Amino acid sequence: MEYPKSIQNRIKRVGGQVEGVKKMIVQGESGDKVMTQLQASISSLESLKTELIKQQMKESMVEDVKKSLGI
């Protein structure tokens, strides 16, 4: 499966957010700040999951149409 640039960008963003949480924990940031960043990371993962589901649905629909047309 080939993923669009938008999905590739999202996964990079999620990775950056997780690295940010890691740094905050290592540096001893307050729990509130860590939790806020962690929740942002979780929200980004959920958004990525939604985009991946949409992508899979599109590809599945295209394949179904091709099969029904004998392509």
Give yes or no for residue 26 having a pLDDT over 90.
Answer: yes
Tokens of 65: 């149409």
Element holding 52 (H helix, E strand): helix 31-69
Could you report the per-residue pLDDT of 27-63, keeping only the tens digit for each?
999 999 999 999 999 999 999 999 999 999 998 999 8
Out of 3.40.50.300, 1.20.58.1000, 1.10.3720.10, 3.40.50.10320, select the CATH number for domain 8-69. 1.20.58.1000
Question: What is the predicted pLDDT for the residue at 70?
Answer: 87
pTM: 0.77
Q: b/e string for 20-59 if b means 16 or more Cβ within 10 A?
A: bbeebeeeebeeeebeebbeebeebeeebeebeeebeeee
| Rounded average pLDDT over 20-33 | 96
Q: Which of 3, 10, 8, 33 is nearest to 20 (CA)?
A: 33
pLDDT tier for residue 3 given thresholds of 50, 70 and 90: confident
